C-alpha cells in the first residue's frame, strides 16, 4: 500500500514513466484510479476485518450466571401442559426445534445456516440450571452466548412454565438426527453489529433482571405483559410493529400492536382472539402462517389471550415502526 502511494507521488521512479516524459493524462488517470481502487479495497478489508474481530469478540464473551433451581414435574398432566406451552411459546416452530424436539437446519442464504439444536440429545443431561441458563439467559454450558436462539424473548419465562416445558422435552424419545454446527455468514455478523437482530442473545439480555418472581397466571395486565414478550421478537421491543430490521421481506411486516390508529385501536377482544386462533383479520383477510405464527399462538388459553389483550390495550399508542 505505502509503496504504491510513494510511487504515485514520485512518478520519476516509476518504471512506466520515463524521467524526461510526463505521463499521458490517460496513464495518469489509470494510475490514479488504480490507487483509488486499492485504497477503497484496503479500507473495505480493514473494516471487514474490524467487524469480524468485533463480532468474534462478542461471540467469545463469557457470562457469569447464577444457578437457578426449579421443579421439573414428571406427571402426565404436567407433561401435556408442557407440550401445549412448548408449542404456544414457539419452541416447536417448523423453523426451529420441531414437535419431536429433534431440531433442524435452517438454510438462510448469505446469513448462514442455523442449527436449531436436537433437544433430545443436546439437552439430555441438562439440569434445571442448564435449562435456565440457555433458555432465559442465552448462555450455553461453556459460558458463552448461544447463537440465533431468541432467548431475549424468553428471559422473563417463569419457573413454572420452564419447568413444564422441560417436563415435556424430557418425556420425548431420543431423536437420531445429527445436526451440523451453525454456519454464521458475514452478513449476519454485520446485521447483528448494526443492531438489526441479536445473533448473540446473551449480549442483549439484562442478566440481573432474569430470575424475577413468577407472575400469577390470570386475566391481568401483569400476566399479559409477561405473555407479550413472546411477540417482541417480531413486533418489536415496544410492540409497535413495522418491518423487522435486517429481515428478508418474506418475513412480512408485523402489525402495530399498540392501541394506535395504525394498530389495535378500536379492536375487540373477540377480533384479537379470532386472529390468534384462525389467522383471519377483522377485515376478513387471511394472514400467512409462515410470517405470523398463529397456529402455535392459537394454543394460548382464552384467559391468556384475554390478559394479552388487556396488556396491549394498556400500552401508550405509538406510531407504527417505533419498534
Q: Write down the least CB distance from residue 44 to ligand HEC, Å.
A: 34
Cα angle: 71, vertex 72, 73; to 5 degrees: 105
**Grid coordinates of 156:** 422473563
**Grid coordinates of 115:** 442449527
Under 8 Å between Cβ of 292 and 311? no
Q: Which is nearer to ligand HEC, 162 or 255 (CB)?
A: 255
Nearest-angstrom CA–CA distance, 120 and 174: 5
Q: Binding-site residue total for ligand HEC (CB under 6 A)?
A: 20
Q: Which is nearer to ligand HEC, 79 or 146 (CB)?
A: 146
Least Cα distance to 264 among 227, 313, 218 occurs for 313
Q: Write down the least CB distance from residue 275 to ligand HEC, Å.
A: 4
Among 103, 224, 293, 306, contact with ligand HEC (rule: CB under 6 A): 293
Q: Write down the least CB distance from residue 251 to ligand HEC, Å.
A: 6
Q: Which is nearer to ligand HEC, 8 or 251 (CB)?
A: 251
Q: Which is nearer to ligand HEC, 169 or 308 (CB)?
A: 308
Q: Which is nearer to ligand HEC, 35 or 299 (CB)?
A: 299
Q: Write down the least CB distance from residue 132 to ligand HEC, Å.
A: 22
Nearest-angstrom CA–CA distance, 257 and 240: 6
Q: Write down the least CB distance from residue 91 to ligand HEC, Å.
A: 12
Angle between helices 159-171 and 128-136 (to 10 degrees): 110
Interface mask toward ligand HEC for 201-240; x: CB under 6 A: -----------------------------xx-xxx-----
Cα–Cα distances in angstroms (integers) from residue 266 to residues 252, 297, 321, in the given order: 23, 22, 19
Nearest-angstrom CA–CA distance, 239 and 231: 7
Q: Which is nearer to ligand HEC, 112 or 254 (CB)?
A: 254
Helix or strand or coil: residue 16? Answer: coil
Under 8 Å between Cβ of 70 and 145? no
β partners of residue 142: none
**Grid coordinates of 290:** 409462515
Decide if residue 297 touches ligand HEC (CB under 6 A).
Answer: yes
Interface mask toward ligand HEC for 253-292; x: CB under 6 A: xxx-x--------------x--x-----x-----xx--xx
Residues near ligand HEC (CB under 6 A): 230-231, 233-235, 252-255, 257, 272, 275, 281, 287-288, 291-293, 297, 308
Amino acid at each position: 500500500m505505502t509503496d504504491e502511494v510513494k510511487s504515485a507521488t514520485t512518478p520519476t521512479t516509476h518504471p512506466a514513466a520515463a524521467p524526461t516524459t510526463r505521463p499521458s493524462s490517460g496513464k495518469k488517470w489509470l494510475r490514479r484510479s488504480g490507487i483509488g481502487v486499492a485504497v477503497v479495497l484496503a479500507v473495505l478489508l480493514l473494516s471487514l476485518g474490524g467487524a469480524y474481530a468485533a463480532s468474534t469478540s462478542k461471540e467469545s464473551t463469557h457470562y457469569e450466571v447464577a444457578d437457578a433451581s426449579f421443579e421439573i414435574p414428571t406427571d402426565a398432566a404436567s407433561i401435556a401442559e408442557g407440550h401445549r406451552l412448548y408449542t404456544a411459546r414457539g419452541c416447536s416452530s417448523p423453523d426451529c426445534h420441531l414437535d419431536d424436539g429433534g431440531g433442524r437446519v435452517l438454510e438462510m442464504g448469505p446469513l448462514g445456516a442455523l442449527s436449531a439444536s436436537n433437544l433430545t440429545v443436546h439437552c439430555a443431561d441438562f439440569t434445571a440450571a442448564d435449562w435456565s441458563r440457555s433458555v432465559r439467559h442465552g448462555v450455553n454450558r461453556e459460558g458463552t452466548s448461544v447463537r440465533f436462539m431468541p432467548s431475549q424473548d424468553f428471559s422473563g419465562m417463569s419457573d413454572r412454565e420452564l419447568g413444564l416445558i422441560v417436563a415435556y422435552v424430557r418425556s420425548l424419545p431420543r431423536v437420531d438426527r445429527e445436526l451440523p454446527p451453525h454456519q454464521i455468514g458475514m452478513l449476519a455478523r454485520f446485521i447483528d453489529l448494526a443492531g438489526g437482530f441479536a445473533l448473540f442473545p446473551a449480549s442483549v439480555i439484562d442478566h440481573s433482571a432474569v430470575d424475577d418472581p413468577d407472575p400469577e397466571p390470570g386475566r391481568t395486565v401483569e400476566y399479559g405483559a409477561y405473555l407479550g414478550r413472546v411477540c417482541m421478537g417480531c413486533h418489536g421491543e415496544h410492540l409497535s410493529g413495522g418491518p423487522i430490521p435486517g429481515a428478508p421481506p418474506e418475513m412480512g411486516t408485523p402489525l402495530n400492536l399498540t392501541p394506535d390508529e395504525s394498530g389495535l385501536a378500536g379492536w375487540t377482544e373477540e377480533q384479537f382472539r379470532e386472529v390468534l386462533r384462525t389467522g383471519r383479520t377483522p377485515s376478513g383477510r387471511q394472514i400467512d402462517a409462515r410470517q405470523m405464527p398463529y397456529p402455535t399462538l392459537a394454543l394460548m388459553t382464552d384467559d391468556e389471550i384475554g390478559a394479552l389483550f388487556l396488556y396491549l390495550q394498556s400500552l401508550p399508542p405509538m406510531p407504527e415502526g417505533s419498534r
